[in-house]
A and B are shown apart, each in its own frame.
Chain A
Amino acid sequence: MENIKASTEQLCAEANIQRKKVSEVSKELLDFCEKNKTNDMLVSGPTDQHNPFQEKKSCSVL
């Protein structure tokens, strides 16, 4: 009984939230990616400074 009551209240709260269209949130996700693209080393490669993980270890080779 308590469970059902709680879950109904939960559903009620969830039904009343504001929502955006998928097209809108997609655009925002796209814009975010484009804006941060140059800083994303895994996408654009290291910028002026090196990626420390891409430098060879000093005492590597064999």
Chain B
Amino acid sequence: MSTIAGESSSSSKMPENSQPTTTEKGSEYLEQLANEAEELRKKLDQERHKLNDIPIQQAAERLDVMGALGVKQRRILKGHVGKVLCMDWSLDKRHIVSSSQDGKVIVWDGFTTNKEHALTMPTTWVMACAFSPSSQMIACGGLDNKCSVVPLSFEDDIIQKKRQVATHTSYMSCCTFLRSDNLILTGSGDSTCAIWDVESGQLIQNFHGHTGDVFAIDVPKCDTGNTFISAGADKHSLVWDIRSGQCVQSFEGHEADINTVRFHPNGDAFATGSDDATCRLFDLRADRQVCVYEKESILFPVNGVDFSLSGRILFAGYGDYRVGVWDSLKCARHSVLYGHENRISCLRTSPDGTAVCSASWDCTIRIWA
């Protein structure tokens, strides 16, 4: 537990592919720019390093160790016949939407485990799904490169009401509504994120900056600011200004694809999970990585992370079928939840913090509380 940050070393991988320019002047200018970028990079690293004074686990020594939690599997939602790829809670803290590799999207009552709606999408691999804030609509999509919305009602055949809202040039990996039922934020394999107007299907803002597939996005719960975060195959997490479309901060540290990202409930920090088998905590105000959650015995990718209501627990769903329960402040693993029989693909805490839900390639969704 000695290292807190894995950054600094591999800072530059930039200007190698600089194209040969026709004029001497052009190449001089290019060189000058590259030097400038290198200097800035160094300065940035130094500045961030300077602020790394006391590790968080040392500050957390004054806290009591968490006792036994009594968290165990309370519900199992069965009905998918393919790998479950994504799930999302309704703000009513009760309903759950899930999507799977065989093209099905199911809306569940989490209390009773009943299926309330089921629809079949035209393509398989529905990689993303989301509940709207009013709980009256869901959004989903994936390999079809599209994000579609479906209003939920018991009167009609809801698939007839399905509408396409967004189109990317590659698969859609993640989506979430933004503050209302009218705006949707999507992330894609085309390495961009975008905000769309649900009613008109118009692109409101797009976000260019990632150099690889985007796998995850998140919006702060206490949504006062105008930011969101995204992360993906380029190992970087980017913070975006929603209004300007500009990237305002970028965070590095992971050594492989980032699969999942989630804001801390305070809205100023966020956690990530990666193929490098670690979770990490980054803080926007410190502009750097604050903690790494890792163990030598953990070798599998993290595909879902989320915090408990106070932020004390970081839940992580792994490729080794387990849910790791981390003390986010002491940076130590508290316990492990067993149950799934294949890799976990997605994990979310319920909006009021009463339960954690995990989706898995074992075709089930499980609720832990």
A: residues with CB less than 8 A from B are 1, 4-5, 7-8, 10-15, 17, 19-30, 32-37, 39-43, 45-46, 51-54, 57
Contact = CB atoms under 8 A, between A and B. Distances in A.
Interface of B: 14-15, 18-19, 21, 26, 30, 33-34, 36-37, 40-41, 43-44, 47-48, 51-56, 59-60, 62-63, 66, 69-71, 74-75, 94, 110-113, 209, 246-250, 264-266, 268-269, 283, 285-288, 290, 308-313, 328-329, 349, 353-356, 367, 369
A1 B15 CA distance: 9
A11 B41 contact: yes
13 contacts: A4-B14, A4-B34, A8-B37, A12-B40, A20-B283, A22-B54, A25-B283, A33-B312, A33-B328, A43-B310, A45-B70, A51-B369, A53-B75
B29 to A, nearest CB: 8
Given A26-B54, A36-B311, A7 B14 contact: yes
B268 to A, nearest CB: 7
A19 B18 contact: no
Given A1-B21, A39-B353, A51-B354, A29 B311 contact: yes
Tell me what chain A mostly uses at the interface: helix, strand, loop, or mixed.
helix
Contacts of A14: 44, 248-250, 287
Question: 6 closest pairs, A vs B, by CB?
Answer: A36-B310, A53-B369, A40-B310, A11-B40, A26-B59, A23-B54
A22 B288 contact: yes
Contacts of B43: 15
Contacts of B285: 19-20, 24-25, 28
A43 B265 CA distance: 14
B41 A29 contact: no
Contact of A4 (B18, B266, B329): B18
Nearest to A46: B354
Nearest to B14: A7
B175 to A, nearest CB: 26
B60 A30 contact: yes
B353 A41 contact: yes
Contacts of A19: 47-48, 51, 285-288
Nearest to B356: A42
A5 B266 CA distance: 35
Contacts of B250: 10, 14
A22 B290 CA distance: 7
A31 B309 CA distance: 13
